[in-house]
Amino acid sequence: MRIIKLNATDSTNLYLKDLMNESSLEDFTFVVADTQTLGRGQMGTVWESEHGKNLTFSVLKKIESEQFNNPFLLNICISLAVYNALHTLGIPNLKVKWPNDILSGHSKICGILIENILSGSRMISSVIGIGLNVNQEKFIGLPNVSSLKLIMGKTFDLEMLLFLFYGELKKSFLEIENKGAGYMKDTYESVLFRKDKPSTFKGTDGNLFMGFIRGVSDQGKLMVTLEDDIQKEFNMKEISLLY
């Protein structure tokens, strides 16, 4: 494990990707920053974080493409590592909101942005970006966002959390080898937010519709039962879960 600590950068994902172009980096190289001036979220969104209050970091993980022939397995592996790290801390009512938001109750406390780069025909270099809301107390204009401090009523040490995440990420990758993809997927589905509950979704046309989340496909699509028992699979661009 190598840790590169920065006071500020545009985005730790971008920093790590640039560094990978310049030199060969060891597996589990971490880049952690107190501030990101261009923190990036999923689907082109911005990830905001108060200076020095939260954990914003990226990890390089080299993987053999054969091991990850199910493209969603990496996402499952990382989501479960984050889930387990937060579970260890006693954070209540943890769920994974498809594809990889980590919630406590109905509030998002952690976001994950995975960017894969092919290096050769058999290897993938995965840049795993994690933003965890730790000691920030105000999230103006973000009603369904919270932090560990707001939930647990105490301040957390960022360095301790980083090591906790390192351990859980390592464990999660080992678990794929030891227990297999099927086990990982079942575990992921067992902690999926609103699974088997009546839920409201918004489609690409802006219309709302009702359905029940049943799980995820091997491709990572959300499997939903709609009215009249129609089964459908949606990708991230096609659907957003409202409640």
Q: Which of residues 162-181 bind ligand BTN (CB under 6 A)?
A: none
Gap between the Cα atoms of 126 and 114, Å rounded = 7
Residue placing its CB nearer to ligand BTN in the complex, 48 or 225? 48
Nearer to ligand BTN, 115 or 233 (CB): 115
193 binds ligand BTN (CB under 6 A): no
Question: Does 111 contact ligand BTN by CB under 6 A?
Answer: yes
The correct pick among 58, 79, 133, 172 for binding ligand BTN (CB under 6 A) is: 58
- Residue 12 touches ligand BTN, criterion: CB under 6 A: yes
Nearest to ligand BTN of 129, 220 (CB atom): 129
Rounded to whole angstroms, the Cα distance separating 110 from 161 reads 13
For residue 240, the minimal CB distance to ligand BTN (Å) is 12
- Rule CB under 6 A: say whether 41 interacts with ligand BTN: yes
Strand stretches in the chain, DSSP E: 2-9, 29-36, 55-64, 94-97, 101-104, 107-119, 123-132, 198-203, 208-216, 222-225, 231-234, 239-241
Tell me the CA distances in angstroms from 61 to 84, 124, 166, one per residue in order.
Answer: 19, 8, 11
* Residue of 4, 28, 42, 170 interacting with ligand BTN (CB under 6 A): 42
Give how many residues touch ligand BTN by CB under 6 A: 20
Question: Burial level of 79, CB count in 10 A (0-12/13-18/19+)?
Answer: buried
The reply on whether position 133 binds ligand BTN by CB under 6 A is: no
196 φ, ψ to 5°? 60, 20
| Distance (Å, whole) CA 84 – CA 164 | 10
Q: Is 75 in the site for ligand BTN (CB under 6 A)?
A: no
Shortest CB 178 distance to ligand BTN, Å: 28
Site membership for ligand BTN, residue 220 (CB under 6 A): no
Binding site residues, ligand BTN, CB under 6 A: 11-13, 36, 39-42, 45, 47, 56-58, 101, 111-113, 129-131
